[in-house]
Structure 1
Amino acid sequence: MAATATAKATAKAADPDSGKKSAEKGKAADKAGKGSPQTGGGGGAASADPVKLRDRFEIHPDKPLPDLDTPSAKAFEVQDRRGAGRALYALIGRADTLQRTTVMRALRGMQNPGMLQFIEGGTIDWPPEGRKVIASIYERPAGGKVMADLNATIDVISDQFFAKKVIKPLHDALAELRSRSVTHRAIRPDNVYFFDAKGDRLVLGDCLTTPPGYDNPALFEPIETALCTPEGRGSGHYSDDMFSLGVTLLFLMLGTNPVRGRDPEEVMRQRLEQGSYATLAGENRVPLSMIEPLRGLLHDDSRERWTLEQLDLWLNGRRLTPLQPRMEKRAQRAFKVGNNEFATARGAAYGLMKNWDKALGIIKEGRLEVWLRRGLEDNERADQLSTVIKVVEALPGDKRGQGDLMVARCVMVLFPEAPLCFRNVRCTLDGFGPALASTMMRKGDVKPFADMVTWDVVKYWVQAQSVYNPEHTQAEQNFRDMRIFLANKNKGYGIERIAYEQNENMPCLSSFVETEHVSEIRELLPALENASKSADTKTWPVDRHIAAFTASRYERDLTPQLKAMEDPEPERQALGMLSLLAVLQWRLGPEALFGLTSWLGGLVTPVVNSYHSRERRKRMEKEIPRVVRKGSLPELYNLLDNAEERGSDHEGFETAKAEYAQAKRQITALETGQAARDENATRMGHQAAAVGSVIVGLLTILLLLLVRLF
């Protein structure tokens, strides 16, 4: 439980939300699985047998390295079979936490003196948890963490060497990451290491085992992302890393937490009303030489925050003067929300976010509007608030959603740069996907996310921004696409489809394959094959998650299959499901799927029964076991839905129907006596025709004789 303890200590030290939040996360995780897939890295009896990654790296579950644990990952010793003596270690992340597997490709092979080298990563079987997990292998730092935890006190590095020993290597690491279009988003003192035993070289640590910014206490995040839930911070921008770097440098130059012992909520309120630099560095003895870069890095306006180029200029001796942050207008009298009072509009917005259930009442009472007019003397903002309230009240829809939208839009009026807020969800534009995925992976309530899409919260957020950003237009289109998916309640769509579309690294959460950590479409059928050994074969192997995962990951259009799976006719449903999986095997392999084919073979009775010919049905029933033994889903599909067979069966059925109708008519005629009357009529008709023929013949002969005589 070392990681949990560290996370809690970190939260108490620095995060306005995470004091409760980290504890809640830990409780939720422990509840999700005590020693099960959810507990990440530990969980069961350690195995003495090493686990192999890529048939090269041996990870030892029985050799943990607790000093290298992170808040969300456990560290274990690794041996490289091709590089004997090379010191490596693996981080095993939590199974219920979204990891940055797509970033692994960018970091593989990267060598920079300011960052731990990422060696390899991938999915492994992990005996302590009885499931597959993701392992990330790094070079092992000989000197350990610079700060064991964020409450620790360390010896400060001399001002004379601080820039060269600390700032320069971290700057170079971030520059290398930027060249690869990657943000680190996990910069904090307990994720900075002494690479060598002497402590001469500092390096940045892991950034792969959690969503971006997830393990960072709010103190290390710019205000806009600090207000988000940890999983909703998003990949962000390079400026976010620069802010985290600034806070980390402040910790290291002071040798301790600059706000140690203070209430995290109070720290956040002070940041909102006085600025981050004043809150973190204002009451501490910062070396004069470091005031300039700290002011630049801790600037709350990302557009004014120092960039890598500006920091590089400073490192090379050029002195810059960071712009002073614009102070928020303070009210003559404070606005009270819950137990706290706020003197600025941003502070009031924070109060509404933290007291969501009470916020609607406060807004409808009119207290907020009155405070804006009289306390803050901001009539323009008060008018905007009044308009928003009237517009939202006129919208159709359920009252709960309408109320949540009203609170969300009022927060936007007070603090336009704040994250997207809706009930307990607080996230950035690019953090919506990871936040949804994390909630889904922990079996949480995803309705607030669906409501955010339904009520078009992003559209209103974009409208509230004062500065145009092309990314906002793209985000609006992205959310419009989400609304289309959400409106379709069929398999392959809905909130599940949104989650997979927004997170290309999200594993399939179907109960059939959840322990297999299937994150790529090629892995799905082998995982289902494995699941066939223990699954209830009377159930369909394609549930909502598998359908949505397949539709989002497979490069071709699967609309016909998804539509067929929702057909009211059982045989069409079965064929749709079979077609979906058969296409995957045909395109992606593997060659044989004996268990899965057997599973499906037992579910296709409605298809067989849809044929009219008894002989054809018997023939199919005999053929199915043969195809099952071959393990071929395409062959099974072709057997059951052969166009020629279907056509022949249809023709035969139509012929049989016609013959049956004729026979039925004959039977009816016999039963009613109509047949005898018809027979007499026919005989009399024949006799009349014969007599008529004789008469005509005689007349013809008579005419011929008369012609000859005259």
Structure 2
Amino acid sequence: MATPNVQDVVELGERFEIAPGQRLAVHDSGLAEAYAAVDRIDSSRKVFALIGPGHLATRGLAIAPTRSAAGTYLLWPLASAIVDWPVGIEGGGEVLWGRRPAFIYSMPAGEKLSGPKGQIPQLAETQLIKNFIQPAIQLIRDLVLIGCPHRAIRPDNIYFQGGNSGDIMFGDCLASPPGSNQSAAFETVENAMSDPIGRGGGSIADDIYAIGVMGLMLYLGRDPVAGVSDEQIINAKINAGSFSTLAGGEKLAPSLAELFRGLLCDKVSDRWTIKQLEGWMTGAHFNPTLPSIPQRASRPLKFCGGEYLNKPALAHAMSRHWNEAIALLSSGDFDNWYKRGFGDEKAPDKMNRIHGLSAAYGPPAGMRDRAVSRFIIHMGGSLPLCYKEIRTSLVGLGAILSHNYERRERVQQVGELIHARLLHAWFEEQPNLRPEQMQLRRSLEVIDKVIDRQGPGFGIERVLYELDRGTPCKSSLISDYYVVDSADLLPAIDAAIPGAPAGTLPMDRHIAAFIATNMKRSMDTEMIPLANRADEINYRVGILRLLAIVQRVHQQYELPRLAAVVVEMLEPVIGAFHNSGMREHLKGEMAKHAKDCRFDEMLLLLDGEGSLRKADNEGFAAAVQEYAHLERGRAWLANGGLTDTTRIRGIAHKVAAMTSTLACSAGLAAYGLFAVLF
């Protein structure tokens, strides 16, 4: 995130000021950047700010306000909010302002645990227990109460309480995506295989694993896998187990060996919990935790320069070498290895089923890619979902989509894997699911229904916000304003309008999808008019209806710029009224409602089912009927209706008959009168 040199200060609440022009890179936390800050009330307190990335969800915005502090051993925000922030430079050299998530922290009193070159101090057993294990246990207790795993336990995010020795304090865990800055050494096999952004929120069990890694490194005084690539670390953990990979060949005291075996167990159901860790501290002993090693094949399979004796290791290699994996599945070597290497009589049926499902979901051109993905899922078990360039936990898929949204090929890959029902395939391979995974499984029902619908409010945009509800709206109109709550949507549009091109409508696919996802009721019906852009009247009234619904929910009426744009947007709608007097009346009413920013009142006037529209349509229909009648008369006259000879002859006959009748009647009357008188 490149921040321009800005001299102005940014306020967070009434107490803190942040200096965008003063970077403190030493305190960066993953993707979150650190800046100098000041406490207005207590100027002696040293504080700094972390500014989160503007394109990803930030879980800390929801979690930080729930507690004022989180124990002695965890750096916790003093304040947090979405603040005004410089996001770039405009063409004229002026600073372009937007909004970003911000967190204020007290400056740690001590130094970082790791040295400037990544050195790790060595602690004796007693020091390790007192200065690290005990604080770590308290950290886990606090995190359980908060309901939020840390997911950032690593040497450069741990501080001494004072100086460069003694008790420690764990650094920020809220401003950056969980696990996004962790090396493969500190992550379980499942998390390490995922792209860092796609690791998801994780669990306390992941933190306990990282505590085991950190404790082992402190006891050894070094990183035992320094200089080893992430891919090699993952392979070693799969084949030999995490404990052997990290502590293999090291001489450990029996009690510490028991501790680290329990904390570094790869099978999460066998990994120590906080209760076992607390028990170990009081002298309790537990049955030795055996490494969870995958079943070995009877013979190795050669692939991309390596030899593989188990399915998870091969699945990992296939995820890293996709094109070669496609060729591997077409070879007889893989068939023989899979069918004969593990003594599984049902192996041929499993392979046929995988190939059949790969062919059933999606176009023929992508069948081989889908087959590779399904074999990785099948062989890897709890390993991440892999498809072409994507490797992600299911919970992290929304973050992956958000992070790569400007890369069309990655977005297309996400769409392909959803269409191929690979998410469902992954779920089918899991013996147990965590709560967040179960919640995502329910979200799949919505995703399956909306991904193929073409109109605004649906499609891949809707999938983005359904996968991760905290994702900021990516509309080009308001993407700089970090809108993660529908309450901020209309104010952001109002603020963005001055910088938008003339004629910009306050709606696009992202805004529509964001509204559809974040409203408490279904908005599918309200999205229908937006699908037909050719029907300009209903399209514009449909936009007005969505704005009115959001406004009514949040009771926001200070939106003068947005109101002016809405009035301009609705000019064709008013122009479509037939009655000129009614059009003038509507213009006056719209001006009045624009002054009060009342979109609901505007909607009542212009709604297709409203009284004014009905009256206008009925009046127009009556006028059309009357006009048609007059037009028929005009045409009759124009066609010589008055001078037609046949018509004149008929009229003359009628007049002659009437004249004869009148003459006869007059004669008879005269005769009768004469007879009476004479």
Deviation at 1:353, TM superposition (A): 0.8
CA deviation digits over 1:83-121, x for unaligned, max 9? 332232211223234322354346531330121122111
Q: Which letter maps to 2:18?
A: I
Counterpart residue number, 1:415: 380
**Is the 2:370–2:387 Cα contact (8 Å) retained in structure 1?**
yes
Return the match for 1:351 from 307, 312, 317.
Answer: 317
**Is the 2:457–2:510 Cα contact (8 Å) retained in structure 1?**
yes
Q: Would you say 1:505 and 2:505 are equivalent positions? A: no
Q: Name the stretch that deviates more: 232-241 or 129-138.
A: 129-138
Q: Would you say 1:289 and 2:255 are equivalent positions? A: yes
Structure 1: runs of 5+ lacking an equivalent = 1-38, 700-710
CA distance in 1, matches of 2:215, 2:664: 128
User: Kindly tell me: are residues 287 and 690 of structure 1, through their superposed partners in 2, closer, same or farther at Cα, counting changes over 3 Å?
Assistant: farther
Q: Which letter maps to 1:666?
A: G
CA distance in 1, matches of 2:367, 2:667: 102
CA deviation digits over 1:314-350, x for unaligned, max 9? 1111122332123223335422222322222111111
User: Kindly tell me: are residues 556 and 48 of structure 1, through their superposed partners in 2, closer, same or farther at Cα, counting changes over 3 Å?
Assistant: same
Counterpart residue number, 2:503: 538
CA distance in 2, matches of 1:541, 1:571: 15
Counterpart residue number, 2:672: none
SS of the equivalent of 1:118 reads coil
- TM-score, normalised with respect to structure 1: 0.86
Aligned length: 658
User: Kindly tell me: are residues 476 and 126 of structure 1, through their superposed partners in 2, closer, same or farther at Cα, counting changes over 3 Å?
Assistant: closer
**Is the 2:68–2:78 Cα contact (8 Å) retained in structure 1?**
yes
Q: Would you say 1:114 and 2:73 are equivalent positions? A: yes
Counterpart residue number, 1:67: 26
**Is the 1:277–1:298 Cα contact (8 Å) retained in structure 2?**
yes
CA deviation digits over 1:504-535, x for unaligned, max 9? 22111111111111111111111111111121
**Is the 1:145–1:192 Cα contact (8 Å) retained in structure 2?**
yes
CA distance in 1, matches of 2:566, 2:183: 49
**Is the 2:82–2:102 Cα contact (8 Å) retained in structure 1?**
yes
Q: Would you say 1:275 and 2:234 are equivalent positions? A: no
**Is the 1:114–1:203 Cα contact (8 Å) retained in structure 2?**
yes
Q: Name the stretch that deviates more: 673-682 or 247-256.
A: 673-682
CA deviation digits over 1:278-319, x for unaligned, max 9? 011113343443111100010010000000110010111112
Counterpart residue number, 1:43: 3
User: Kindly tell me: are residues 635 and 419 of structure 1, through their superposed partners in 2, closer, same or farther at Cα, counting changes over 3 Å?
Assistant: same
SS of the equivalent of 1:430 reads coil
CA distance in 1, matches of 2:552, 2:440: 36
**Is the 2:361–2:421 Cα contact (8 Å) retained in structure 1?**
no
Counterpart residue number, 1:571: 537
Q: Name the stretch that deviates more: 365-374 or 455-464.
A: 365-374
User: Kindly tell me: are residues 696 and 584 of structure 1, through their superposed partners in 2, closer, same or farther at Cα, counting changes over 3 Å?
Assistant: farther
Q: Name the stretch that deviates more: 351-360 or 435-444.
A: 435-444
Counterpart residue number, 1:3: none
Counterpart residue number, 2:676: none
SS of the equivalent of 1:445 reads helix
Q: Which letter maps to 1:44?
A: P
Q: Would you say 1:457 and 2:412 are equivalent positions? A: no
Return the match for 1:138 from 77, 98, 105.
Answer: 105
CA distance in 2, matches of 1:131, 1:612: 43
SS of the equivalent of 2:20 reads strand
CA deviation digits over 1:444-493, x for unaligned, max 9? 72112112221111222222234577876654432232011102111011
Q: Would you say 1:300 and 2:260 are equivalent positions? A: no
Counterpart residue number, 1:436: 401
Aligned positions of 1:47-446 closer than 5 A: 47-105=6-64, 108-127=67-86, 129=88, 130-148=97-115, 152-197=118-163, 199-374=165-340, 376-380=341-345, 382-392=347-357, 394-395=359-360, 397-440=362-405, 445-446=410-411
Counterpart residue number, 1:17: none
SS of the equivalent of 2:45 reads coil
**Is the 1:52–1:124 Cα contact (8 Å) retained in structure 2?**
yes
CA distance in 1, matches of 2:286, 2:663: 130
CA distance in 1, matches of 2:667, 2:524: 78
Q: Name the stretch that deviates more: 195-204 or 214-223.
A: 195-204
CA distance in 2, matches of 1:465, 1:631: 52
CA deviation digits over 1:604-663, x for unaligned, max 9? 232123211233334434554454444433343344348232222122212211111111
Structure 2: runs of 5+ lacking an equivalent = 89-96, 669-678
**Is the 1:369–1:382 Cα contact (8 Å) retained in structure 2?**
no
SS of the equivalent of 2:285 reads coil
Deviation at 1:369, TM superposition (A): 1.6
User: Kindly tell me: are residues 153 and 669 of structure 1, through their superposed partners in 2, closer, same or farther at Cα, counting changes over 3 Å?
Assistant: same
Deviation at 1:197, TM superposition (A): 2.9
Q: Would you say 1:602 and 2:562 are equivalent positions? A: no
User: Kindly tell me: are residues 295 and 384 of structure 1, through their superposed partners in 2, closer, same or farther at Cα, counting changes over 3 Å?
Assistant: farther
CA distance in 2, matches of 1:241, 1:69: 20
Q: Name the stretch that deviates more: 307-316 or 65-74.
A: 65-74
SS of the equivalent of 2:539 reads helix
**Is the 1:131–1:516 Cα contact (8 Å) retained in structure 2?**
yes
SS of the equivalent of 1:202 reads strand
Deviation at 1:164, TM superposition (A): 1.8
Deviation at 1:675, TM superposition (A): 4.3
CA distance in 2, matches of 1:467, 1:132: 40
**Is the 1:436–1:449 Cα contact (8 Å) retained in structure 2?**
yes
Q: Name the stretch that deviates more: 602-611 or 186-195.
A: 602-611
Deviation at 1:432, TM superposition (A): 1.9
Q: Which letter maps to 1:99?
A: T
**Is the 1:392–1:402 Cα contact (8 Å) retained in structure 2?**
no
Q: Which letter maps to 1:458?
A: L
RMSD (CA atoms):
2.9
CA distance in 2, matches of 1:327, 1:239: 19
**Is the 1:349–1:414 Cα contact (8 Å) retained in structure 2?**
yes
Return the match for 1:484 from 449, 458, 465.
Answer: 449
CA distance in 1, matches of 2:651, 2:551: 65
Q: Name the stretch that deviates more: 308-317 or 339-348.
A: 339-348
User: Kindly tell me: are residues 515 and 393 of structure 1, through their superposed partners in 2, closer, same or farther at Cα, counting changes over 3 Å?
Assistant: closer
CA distance in 2, matches of 1:683, 1:314: 126
Q: Name the stretch that deviates more: 433-442 or 177-186.
A: 433-442
Counterpart residue number, 1:29: none
Q: Would you say 1:671 and 2:638 are equivalent positions? A: yes
**Is the 2:61–2:81 Cα contact (8 Å) retained in structure 1?**
no
**Is the 1:492–1:562 Cα contact (8 Å) retained in structure 2?**
yes
User: Kindly tell me: are residues 430 and 555 of structure 1, through their superposed partners in 2, closer, same or farther at Cα, counting changes over 3 Å?
Assistant: same
Q: Which letter maps to 1:146?
A: L
Counterpart residue number, 1:707: none
Q: Which letter maps to 1:162?
A: L
Q: Which letter maps to 1:655?
A: A
- TM-score, normalised with respect to structure 2: 0.90
Counterpart residue number, 2:599: 633
CA distance in 1, matches of 2:621, 2:216: 85
**Is the 2:181–2:196 Cα contact (8 Å) retained in structure 1?**
yes
CA distance in 2, matches of 1:473, 1:214: 23
